[in-house]
């Protein structure tokens, strides 16, 4: 299992890439476990979906009190700008 340590606002988190993630009886693509500081990301994701899910879960980790639409909108905006053609070249450069 791929595990990537991440320090966020002074707290040590770990991003774990998992083949299956269950939450409240259903399969999910991402999960933020606030109590043990683990973000789980489904290994089946790639591209924009992978980026959106990671940013969404980091949004929860950053501020647990923000609701689902807030972290989703924020992640969408970040994916939109980071995947913009003009920005892609700059990121690689």
User: Are the C-beta atoms of 12 and 21 separated by less than 8 Å?
Assistant: no
Least Å from the CB of residue 13 to Zn ion? 15
Size of the site for Zn ion (CB under 5 A): 1
Number of residue whose CB is nearest Zn ion: 68
**H helical segments located in 1-67:** 47-62
User: Are the C-beta atoms of 41 and 29 separated by less than 8 Å?
Assistant: yes
Per-position x/- string for 13-52, each x denoting binding to Zn ion as judged by CB under 5 A, each - no binding = ----------------------------------------
Least Å from the CB of residue 58 to Zn ion? 11
Site for Zn ion, residues 45 to 74, rule: CB under 5 A: 68
CA angle 25, 75, 82 (to 5 degrees): 135
Question: Based on CB atoms, which residue is closest to Zn ion, 68 or 73?
Answer: 68
Least Å from the CB of residue 56 to Zn ion? 6
C-beta contacts of 25-30 below 8 A and 24+ residues apart: 29/53, 30/54, 30/56, 30/57
Residue ranges in contact with Zn ion by CB under 5 A: 68
């Amino acid at each position: 299992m791929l595990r990537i340590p991440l320090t966020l606002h002074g707290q040590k988190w770990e991003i774990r890439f998992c083949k299956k993630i269950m939450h409240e009886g259903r399969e999910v693509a991402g999960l933020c476990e606030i109590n043990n500081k683990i973000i789980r990301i489904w290994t089946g994701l790639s591209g924009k979906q992978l980026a959106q899910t990671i940013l969404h879960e980091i949004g929860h980790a950053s501020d647990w009190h923000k609701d689902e639409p807030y972290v989703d909108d924020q992640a969408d905006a970040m994916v939109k700008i980071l995947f913009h053609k003009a920005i892609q070249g700059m990121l690689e450069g």
